Amino acid sequence: MAEIARELSEYLDDMALNILMVEPGDLSVVGALLELTEQLVAEAGKQEGQGMILSMAKSFNAALQKIIMGDLPDSAENFDRLGQCVVQMQEVARKGGEVDEAANRLFRENMTAVGFAVEEQAGPPSEAEPAAAQSPAAPPAPEPAAPSASAKAEKGGAVDLDFLQDKDLLAGFVAESFEHLESIEVNILDLEQDPGNSDIINNIFRTFHTIKGVSGFLNLKKINELSHITENLLDDVRNGKREMDSDVIDVVLGVGDYLREMVQNVKDVLEKGPDVYRDYGISQFVERVKAVQSGQGEAAPAVLQLDEEDEESSSAEAEADVPPAVAPQGRSSAAAQPAAGSQPAAARANGPAARSRIGESIKVDIDKLDGLVNAVGELVIMQSLVRQNPLVSRLADPKLNRDFSQLARITTELQRTAMAMRMVPIRQTFQKMTRLVRDLSKKTGKTVDLIMVGEETEVDRNMVDSIYDPLVHMIRNSVDHGVQSPDAREKVGKPRTGSVYLRAYQKGGNIVIEIEDDGEGLNTPKIRKKALERGLISEGDNLTDHDIQNLVFLPGFSTADKITDVSGRGVGMDVVKKAVEKLRGKVDVSSEAGKGSIFTIRLPLTLAIIDGIIVRIGMERYIIPTIAIQESIRPKREEYNTVYGKGEALMIRDRLVPIIRLYEIFGVEPTYTDPCEALVVVVENEGVQRALMVDELLGKQEVVIKSLGGYLKDTKGVAGGTILGDGRVGLILDLASLLAIERSSAEAAATAEGEMF
């Protein structure tokens, strides 16, 4: 049952992160949220004892579909309430799916506030409908944007997809267009800092010109027409016929977003077939660009409808044609135009001149790159196996030894180069935050500068996408809840313009990302009071301010009253922490009242290699990640204690640290069963210390992580495996899972003792 709850919790954590990304009027993220909800319904429907989660998930799914179809408002308030609904489902999942009347009541209240009556949705699936509810991979409802090709065919309309004649050329256009559109956003935001820079204007113009030319050749008429009209606007700007101002910037950003959605649909057609094609209307976009070009500013309506060819479609389909972030949400001159002299140094340093120094590169298929990295890892392991072969090691040939040394240097360099190929600059992820801060500033009426440092810092390619959602959540908190309004800042003697610093740098074997704001900081006394009310701490606990501040990362901490600087859609910061920990990282916060907060994320340099200490238990080898190790000792007899209800513990540095006997968890015959004869390795995970009992420390080593696969992939307490130099398989310990096993065992033992007495 615990394993089932864990799987459901993972779906809910992903839903929590996705719902944080949703903005009113932008349904681009709702499709992914809907897919996760469908998967949650399917998974809960397959398991016994999960009727409450299933009923909640089905209600949530139905409400989300009504929002997509336009039957319910897609307002910020509704998505906030849906976020609270996710929190209530998380509460039920944390309790293993048992009936929780309090969570159920709050869930119903929030759904009613959204405008959806929970009674409309049936409870657990009946025997007559097992397939619909229990399908392991139920397809998500298509994201409404415009009528699909199949819908048009049913109405008798002809669907002209002649752009599919050359699919290879079309695939190249899609890949290049995404890069071009990314550069448009980066350049337009640079231009906002330096409106008179003709080089940036020319760069944006050439990008639209390229998209226009290739799309015309491929007969992508709508993309061609929209790119052409925007190109004309930029041509007027670069020729001095039209000034570069916030109206031009807003419309170009909106066009870029809409073109990205259209190109994504072309990609979907290539991958899934013509049935997913959507005929996007652009007539009102064209009108708005022309209005801005003629100097009429916001003459066009903010909410776009489908073009004239789709007038017969339903109102829900019409509303779905709204492109993300196309309409300015209020006009704040202070937010739209940064104060003089406030241009961030990072923006100046990473402008067009800096980007022009990028070296030549080629595109390589990701699967081929991963295959190369795996092959090099196998080569390193095999070289070590041959070198340590007893027959080879007995040969006292100087030339053979020199050859082996040279081979070791070559394989090490090859491995270093292969791993470096997986590393990409974090610049692309950071630059997306610039747009986020700009939009949030306009929405909240604040003036905020985002100052980025260390954009060239390289991270593992697999981390880039995974770290995006946690960063968005923390940046949003810093701008929306950390930085005060201009008037409030002025009253406390701060400049009206707030600052958010986004830094990245390498430290030791880790990548460190910091998000710092100069706002009001965390309300530590209020956090402590809330933690006491929820039973997370007791009055007698001797906690520092730093310990109390990091309580905001505990699950369910923000389910009620919002805490200063960490609120947001009721989901809580625990989803950020879980997302970071999936990457084998850590996150914490430090804050000073009135001065601001610093959120720090520490990630391993690469997901493919881990730095660990090899330990022996009996005849088996295990690897403990070095990042979690605090010290290793051989306990003295006087340091050993048994605590009633808590088992064995060691007094280490005036603190009782419980002992975990690893040989009991893994069913291994140990050399020592007395902790005072064995060694203990003190590790820390999420602020919790434990002493792992082992027989021997064999040394420190960087190891290539291998997935256990098959039936072993879900083994408790194990994160993966590796092949050691002597050919043995070593298991890499998962400390979070080990601590969970230890807590479960301790609770079971305490319950058994209570029943005895």
In a domain, 137, yes or no: yes
Phi and psi at residue 302, to the nearest 5°: -70, -35
> Which H or E element spans position 648?
strand 647-652
| Per-residue pLDDT tens digits for 247-275 | 888 888 888 888 988 899 888 888 888 88
In this predicted structure, what is the pLDDT of residue 129?
Answer: 39
| Order of strands across the sheet that contains 629-633 | 629-633, 679-685, 688-694, 655-661, 647-652, 640-643
Q: Do residues 243 and 207 both lie within one domain?
A: yes
CA dihedral 581→554→92→16, nearest 10 degrees, is: -60
CA distance 638 to 26: 64
Helices (H), 422-485: 427-444, 461-466, 468-477
Q: Do residues 209 and 242 both lie within one domain?
A: yes
Q: Do residues 596 and 449 both lie within one domain?
A: yes
Range picked from 128-132, 342-346, 361-365, 516-520 for highest mean pLDDT: 516-520
Q: Is the pLDDT of residue 215 over 80?
A: yes
Nearest to 216 by CA among 264, 158, 159, 173: 173
In a domain, 382, yes or no: no
In a domain, 490, yes or no: yes
CA distance 63 to 520: 37
Distances (CA, A) of 329 to 90, 666, 734: 33, 57, 46
Q: Is the pLDDT of residue 516 over 90?
A: yes
Q: Do residues 471 and 562 both lie within one domain?
A: yes
- 8 Å CB contact between 564 and 483: no
CA distance 43 to 54: 9
Q: What percent of the chain has pLDDT over 90?
A: 9
- 8 Å CB contact between 731 and 650: no
Distances (CA, A) of 188 to 356, 549, 624: 16, 38, 47
CA distance 64 to 75: 12
Nearest to 436 by CA among 480, 476, 469: 476
Q: Is the pLDDT of residue 678 over 80?
A: yes
Q: Count CB atoms within 10 A of the CB of residue 700.
A: 12
Q: What are the residues facing 682 on neighbouring strands?
A: 631, 691
Q: Do residues 747 and 695 both lie within one domain?
A: yes
Q: How many domains does the chain have?
A: 5
Q: Is the pLDDT of residue 719 over 50?
A: yes
Identify the domain boundary among 279, 298, 319. 319
Q: Do residues 580 and 650 both lie within one domain?
A: no
CA distance 239 to 708: 62
Identify the domain boundary among 588, 604, 620. 604
In a domain, 131, yes or no: yes
In this predicted structure, what is the pLDDT of residue 617?
Answer: 93
CA distance 152 to 52: 40
Tokens of 656: 């009782």
pLDDT-wise least confident of 172-181, 549-558, 580-589: 549-558
In a domain, 242, yes or no: yes
Q: Do residues 618 and 749 both lie within one domain?
A: yes
In a domain, 364, yes or no: no
- 8 Å CB contact between 295 and 131: no
CA distance 339 to 448: 10
In this predicted structure, what is the pLDDT of residue 202?
Answer: 84
> Which H or E element spans position 236?
helix 221-238
CA distance 75 to 3: 36
Domain enclosing residue 296, as ranges? 172-308+315-319
DSSP letter string, 559-611: SSSPPTTT-STTT-THHHHHHHHTTT-EEEEEEETTTEEEEEEEEES-SSEEE
CA distance 389 to 726: 8
Mean pLDDT of 738-747: 74
In a domain, 443, yes or no: yes
CA distance 261 to 145: 9
Q: Do residues 592 and 615 both lie within one domain?
A: no
- 8 Å CB contact between 52 and 99: yes
Q: Is the pLDDT of residue 502 over 90?
A: yes
Q: What percent of the chain has pLDDT over 70?
A: 77
pLDDT-wise least confident of 255-259, 356-360, 509-513, 600-604: 356-360
Nearest to 681 by CA among 739, 744, 635: 635
CA 253 to chain centre: 24
Mean pLDDT of 452-459: 88
CA distance 91 to 558: 12
Q: Is 687 helix (H, G, I), strand (E, B) or coil?
A: coil
In a domain, 161, yes or no: no
Nearest to 324 by CA among 248, 259, 244, 231: 259
In this predicted structure, what is the pLDDT of residue 122?
Answer: 37
Mean pLDDT of 226-244: 86
Q: Is the pLDDT of residue 123 over 60?
A: no
pLDDT band for 324, please (50, 70, 90 cuts): very low
Q: Do residues 51 and 127 both lie within one domain?
A: yes
Q: Check residues 573 and 478 and name the one with the higher pLDDT.
A: 478
Identify the domain boundary among 564, 583, 604. 604
Mean pLDDT of 334-358: 36
Tokens of 516: 């710092």
Q: Do residues 558 and 658 both lie within one domain?
A: no
- 8 Å CB contact between 234 and 252: yes
| Per-residue pLDDT tens digits for 71-114 | 788 787 888 888 888 888 888 887 777 777 888 888 888 888 88
| Order of strands across the sheet that contains 497-507 | 447-453, 497-507, 510-517, 596-604, 586-592
In this predicted structure, what is the pLDDT of residue 317?
Answer: 38
- 8 Å CB contact between 749 and 647: yes
Q: Check residues 448 and 535 and name the one with the higher pLDDT.
A: 448
* CATH number for the domain that contains residue 631: 2.40.50.180
Tokens of 729: 């398989």
In this predicted structure, what is the pLDDT of residue 5?
Answer: 54
Kindly give the interhelix angle for 76-94 and 51-68, rounded to the nearest 10 degrees.
170
* CATH number for the domain that contains residue 587: 3.30.565.10
Q: Check residues 198 and 498 and name the one with the higher pLDDT.
A: 498
* CATH number for the domain that contains residue 183: 1.20.120.160
Tokens of 507: 């430290």
CA distance 85 to 112: 11
Q: What is the pTM of this model?
A: 0.59
Beta strand pairing status for 729-733 and 620-625? parallel
Q: Do residues 516 and 452 both lie within one domain?
A: yes
Q: Do residues 600 and 635 both lie within one domain?
A: no
Q: Is the pLDDT of residue 243 over 60?
A: yes
